[in-house]
């Protein structure tokens, strides 16, 4: 009986406690959070990237930590965390960030999941691939232990009309669309799909189909379930559903035990449609608008990438004005991906010297929100096409930092750019053909004041000289660039002191400072 209440909340006695309102550690008896905040005010804080999440196994409900932060965000947001941190180059440091960074670590706010590289490669895996690769990319990170077979995508072999191991011929059985063999999608150059077997549908398509059927939602709420029960709930064919479930299990998206199928961690986190970190939007968009383009690989090679893009009807952005539903689908895809990367981009460098930023093509404003959250003095403008900004309201989730974010409609090729100390281009450059890319960069360069900055975040391509996988880009008129190519691009447009950082597995972030003209 050495405890005030007769038991220790940090030990077995924690079982008696339903929830804690406030600071768990205060209840334990030592206000460690407060103590550390005070320490952080005295000393320079560690970078978020260097912090490890503090775990207390004896804490009865981890949720009790969620709202401890008195940081700018007004509480813990599962979207903010310390996994990324000022990732690349040494930031100069900003003392005003100190309590926040430490709060985040101590308060368990670093609940951002590890970057699901394997899953995204699975979703995007059909766009380009490594020749002869087994496509088992870093799969352990996300639980994608193995793919059904090796050498799934080999563009060179496809073009040569050779057979490719383990590929699908017909996914229609899984989609309930009888008699629509993949051969129907074969492009005009005669790309041979014939060797894909019905038992080994293309992994991305399996994933898209499972998402579309809401398979992961059903298992989240009611799993583990036997195949026949899943089929009943989805109103699908029992035999085909079992095959779909088995392939999902082989891909590491589901677990199969005697009790039935259940979601793996990666599925729970990223494939359940209402999850905070759901990538359903990406799956939905890729399935509806990207998959079909890949099947026109031969046309792309014969007539050029822009032709292939043209096969969709128009450039992606031009099509946005054609349908509100398409625009929303596009925004959902960018939004869900950006949620995973925005923090890495915002913290790749210390941007605290800038008072204002403009995210060009900022879409739903996820990066703007992260920037405003990370830099308490920063005013952020999201600049995007009118059809996008008009729908952006549906993606906002409040928070104090939104007062410092505004949305401006316009076309960055025609309209004057909003004034800002820092211009941001996230995932904007690699899809544009060179002429448009240079036009955009030169407009930014003219608007940017000396001493101002340009921050570019793009999917990281291999460094020049590294052994590069052969690529066939079927979708885009642009091209991925290596960090050095980005550096030269910015220098060419009047930016100096260009620094490069890696942000997560996916992105390369580049920051340049506008030289005096």
Ligand X SMILES: C[S@@+](CC[C@H](N)C(=O)[O-])C[C@H]1O[C@@H](n2cnc3c(N)ncnc32)[C@H](O)[C@@H]1O
User: Residue 251 or residue 428: which is nearer to ligand X going by CB?
Assistant: 428
Q: Residue from 233, 296, 343, 427 that binds ligand X (CB under 6 A)? A: 427
Q: Per CB under 6 A, does 334 bind ligand X?
A: yes
For the CB of residue 341, give the shortest distance to ligand X in the complex, in Å: 7
**Cα–Cα distances in Å, from 498 out to 183, 195, 291, 454, 488?**
48, 48, 36, 9, 9
Stretch that binds ligand X, among 11-19, 129-137, 221-229, 420-428 (CB under 6 A): 420-428
For the CB of residue 400, give the shortest distance to ligand X in the complex, in Å: 23
Neighbours of 473 (CB within 10 A): 17
**Cα–Cα distances in Å, from 504 out to 47, 212, 343, 374, 429?**
15, 28, 10, 17, 19
Q: Per CB under 6 A, does 426 bind ligand X?
A: yes
User: Residue 139 or residue 338: which is nearer to ligand X going by CB?
Assistant: 338
Stretch that binds ligand X, among 154-162, 407-415, 480-488, 490-498 (CB under 6 A): 407-415
Which H or E element spans position 98? helix 98-106
DSSP state, 136?
Answer: -
- Going residue by residue from 347 to 366, which x/- string records binding to ligand X, judged by CB under 6 A? --------------xxx---
User: Residue 47 or residue 334: which is nearer to ligand X going by CB?
Assistant: 334
For the CB of residue 220, give the shortest distance to ligand X in the complex, in Å: 26
**C-beta of residue 345 within 8 angstroms of C-beta of residue 359:** no
**Cα–Cα distances in Å, from 277 out to 272, 335, 363?**
9, 10, 17
Angle at 61 between CA 55 and CA 67, to 5 degrees: 80
> What is the CA 103 to chain-centroid distance, rounded?
24
Separation CA 261–CA 413 (nearest Å): 50
For the CB of residue 512, give the shortest distance to ligand X in the complex, in Å: 18
Report the Cα–Cα distance between both ends of the chain, in Å, rounded. 75
User: Residue 44 or residue 413: which is nearer to ligand X going by CB?
Assistant: 413
Q: Per CB under 6 A, does 338 bind ligand X?
A: yes
User: Both tokens of residue 434?
Assistant: 């060179």
Stretch that binds ligand X, among 217-225, 245-253, 380-388, 500-508 (CB under 6 A): 380-388
For the CB of residue 495, give the shortest distance to ligand X in the complex, in Å: 19
Q: Per CB under 6 A, does 384 bind ligand X?
A: yes
Separation CA 437–CA 358 (nearest Å): 17
Q: Per CB under 6 A, does 428 bind ligand X?
A: yes
Q: Per CB under 6 A, does 388 bind ligand X?
A: yes
Separation CA 315–CA 497 (nearest Å): 34
Give the closest residue to 32 by CA, choosing from 13, 59, 50.
Answer: 59
Separation CA 204–CA 30 (nearest Å): 50
For the CB of residue 26, give the shortest distance to ligand X in the complex, in Å: 40
DSSP reduced 3-state for 226: coil
Separation CA 21–CA 376 (nearest Å): 26
User: Residue 253 or residue 345: which is nearer to ligand X going by CB?
Assistant: 345
For the CB of residue 427, give the shortest distance to ligand X in the complex, in Å: 4
**C-beta of residue 349 within 8 angstroms of C-beta of residue 91:** yes
DSSP reduced 3-state for 325: helix
Which H or E element spans position 507? strand 507-514
Q: Residue from 216, 294, 412, 423 that binds ligand X (CB under 6 A)? A: 412
User: Residue 98 or residue 337: which is nearer to ligand X going by CB?
Assistant: 337
User: Total residues contacting ligand X (rule CB under 6 A)?
Assistant: 17
For the CB of residue 438, give the shortest distance to ligand X in the complex, in Å: 14
Q: Are strands 495-503 and 507-514 parallel, antiparallel or unpaired?
A: antiparallel
Q: Residue from 317, 390, 484, 485 that binds ligand X (CB under 6 A)? A: 317
Residue nearest ligand X, CB atom distance: 361
For the CB of residue 385, give the shortest distance to ligand X in the complex, in Å: 5
User: Residue 24 or residue 412: which is nearer to ligand X going by CB?
Assistant: 412
Q: Residue from 98, 385, 429, 510 that binds ligand X (CB under 6 A)? A: 385
User: Residue 261 or residue 412: which is nearer to ligand X going by CB?
Assistant: 412
Stretch that binds ligand X, among 25-33, 140-148, 249-257, 334-342 (CB under 6 A): 334-342
214 phi-psi bin (left φ>0, alpha ψ -120 to 50, beta other): left
Separation CA 438–CA 77 (nearest Å): 38
For the CB of residue 390, give the shortest distance to ligand X in the complex, in Å: 11
User: Residue 213 or residue 503: which is nearer to ligand X going by CB?
Assistant: 503
Contact positions vs ligand X (CB under 6 A): 317, 320, 334, 337-338, 361-363, 384-385, 388, 411-413, 426-428
């Amino acid at each position: 009986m050495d405890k005030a209440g007769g038991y220790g909340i940090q030990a077995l006695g924690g079982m008696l406690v339903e929830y804690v309102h406030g600071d768990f550690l205060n209840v334990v008896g030592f206000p460690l959070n407060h103590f550390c905040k005070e320490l952080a005010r005295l000393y320079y804080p560690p970078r978020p990237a260097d912090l490890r999440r503090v775990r207390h196994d004896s804490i009865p409900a981890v949720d009790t930590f969620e709202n401890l932060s008195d940081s700018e965000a007004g509480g813990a947001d599962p979207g903010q965390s310390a996994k990324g941190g000022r990732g690349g180059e040494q930031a100069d440091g900003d003392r005003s960030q100190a309590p926040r960074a430490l709060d985040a670590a101590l308060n368990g706010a670093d609940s951002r999941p590890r970057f699901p590289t394997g899953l995204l490669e699975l979703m995007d895996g059909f766009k380009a691939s490594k020749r002869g690769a087994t496509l088992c990319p870093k799969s352990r990170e996300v639980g994608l232990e193995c793919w059904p077979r090796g050498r799934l995508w080999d563009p060179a072999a496809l073009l040569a009309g050779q057979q490719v191991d383990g590929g699908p011929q017909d996914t229609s059985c899984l989609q309930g669309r009888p008699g629509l063999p993949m051969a129907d999608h074969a492009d005009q150059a005669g790309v041979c799909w014939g060797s894909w077997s019905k038992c080994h549908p293309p992994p991305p398509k399996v994933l898209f189909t499972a998402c579309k059927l809401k398979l992961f939602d059903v298992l989240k709420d009611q799993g583990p379930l036997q195949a026949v029960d899943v089929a009943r709930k989805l109103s699908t064919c029992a035999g085909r559903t079992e095959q779909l479930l088995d392939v999902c299990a082989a891909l590491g998206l589901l677990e199969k035990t005697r009790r039935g199928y259940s979601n793996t961690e990666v599925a729970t986190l990223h494939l359940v449609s209402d999850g905070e970190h759901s990538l359903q939007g990406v799956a939905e968009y890729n399935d509806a608008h990207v998959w079909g383009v890949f099947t026109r690989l031969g046309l792309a090679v014969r007539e050029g990438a822009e032709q292939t893009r043209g096969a969709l009807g128009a450039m992606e952005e031009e099509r946005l004005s054609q349908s509100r539903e398409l625009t929303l689908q596009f925004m959902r895809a960018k939004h869900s991906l950006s949620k995973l990367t925005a923090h890495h981009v915002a913290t790749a460098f210390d941007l605290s010297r800038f008072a204002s930023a403009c995210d060009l093509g900022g879409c739903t404003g996820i990066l703007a929100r992260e920037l405003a959250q990370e830099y308490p003095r920063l005013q952020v403008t999201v600049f995007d096409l009118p059809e996008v900004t008009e729908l952006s309201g549906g993606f906002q989730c409040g928070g104090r930092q939104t007062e410092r974010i505004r949305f401006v409609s316009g076309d960055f090729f025609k309209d004057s750019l909003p004034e800002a100390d820092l211009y941001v281009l996230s995932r904007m450059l690699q899809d544009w053909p060179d002429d448009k890319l240079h036009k955009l960069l030169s407009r930014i360069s003219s608007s940017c004041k000396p001493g101002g900055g340009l921050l570019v975040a793009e999917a990281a391509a291999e460094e020049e000289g590294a052994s590069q996988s052969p690529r066939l880009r079927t979708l885009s008129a642009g091209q991925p660039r290596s960090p050095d190519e980005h550096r030269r691009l910015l220098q060419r447009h009047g930016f100096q002191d260009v620094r490069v950082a890696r942000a997560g597995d996916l992105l390369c972030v580049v920051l340049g400072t506008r030289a005096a003209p």
